[in-house]
Structures are given as structure tokens and as C-alpha cells.
């Protein structure tokens, strides 16, 4: 279905990856590094937000409930109601850790930290 802005509600994961994430003031605080899917339930487990490094060195990867990201069609990015300080304190892991086992440990930690409504 096409939205009022002419965009559709559907988007390929490859288009989401690399999209900037901004805070409520418009400051870029990171980018979507990846999207982790649950291939058994057909749900999005979480988005992976990267921030805090320089040229990939020292970067942290934060699982973020998909529902926490709000798409800004005007700017073509995602907005979160979080501060850099909140993200610094948020659960962070390596990319490999985030897909260990079934990923539920990381999903649960993210949903708890952000107090997001659970989809399961």
C-alpha cells in the first residue's frame, strides 16, 4: 500500500541497512548495521544499531527492538527517543554474539532495557 508521501510500507532489508538513526533533536547517533530475523516465527527479532566507533574501530552493536525505531519519511532515516547516554548504557555485543544460538538472550535484554512491548 502506498503512503501519502508516495512510499510503500514495504522495504527491503538491504535498504534499511546503513540508514542513519537520529535522536529527537535530529543529531545522527548511529546507523542500522543489520536486522536480525526469526526464521521460525517470521518476526523481526531486533535491529542492530552501531555507534561509538571510528572507521569500525571500537564500535558497539546494540540490539534495538524494531518498534523503538520510527521511520522519518521526510529525511529517509530512523528516529529514536533515546539519548547518546542511554545508548552508551544499553546492552552491546559483537555482531557474531547477536546471532549465537537463537538470539533470544539478546532480544530479551534489548526489550527489557528499552521497555518495549513484546511481540511474542
Pick the CATH number of 13-114 from 3.50.50.60, 1.10.10.10, 2.30.30.240, 3.20.20.20: 2.30.30.240
Give the pLDDT score at 53. 61
Q: Which three cell numbers stand for residue 38?
A: 526469526
Is 70 exceeded by the pLDDT of residue 80?
A: yes
Task: For residue 7, give the DSSP letter.
Answer: -
Provide the whole-model pTM: 0.82
Left if phi > 0, otherwise alpha if psi is -120 to 50, otherwise beta: which for 93? beta
Q: Which residues 6+ apart lie within 8 Å of 71 measured at CB? A: 77, 78, 79
Q: Among residues of the chain, what percentage have pLDDT more than 90?
A: 50
Encode pLDDT of 13-65 as tens digits: 888 999 999 998 999 988 999 999 988 888 899 999 987 666 556 677 999 99
Amino acid at each position: 500500500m502506498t503512503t501519502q508521501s508516495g512510499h510503500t510500507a514495504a522495504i527491503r532489508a538491504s535498504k534499511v541497512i546503513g540508514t542513519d538513526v537520529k535522536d529527537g533533536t535530529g543529531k545522527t547517533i548511529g546507523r542500522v548495521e543489520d536486522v536480525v530475523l526469526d526464521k521460525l516465527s517470521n518476526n523481526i527479532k531486533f535491529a542492530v544499531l552501531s555507534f561509538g566507533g571510528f572507521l569500525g574501530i571500537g564500535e558497539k552493536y546494540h540490539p534495538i527492538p524494531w518498534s523503538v525505531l520510527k521511520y522519518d519519511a521526510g529525511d529517509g532515516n530512523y528516529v529514536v527517543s533515546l539519548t547518546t547516554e542511554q545508548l552508551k548504557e544499553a546492552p552491546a555485543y559483537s555482531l557474531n554474539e547477536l546471532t549465537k544460538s537463537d538470539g533470544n538472550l539478546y532480544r530479551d535484554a534489548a526489550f527489557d532495557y528499552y521497555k518495549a512491548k513484546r511481540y511474542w
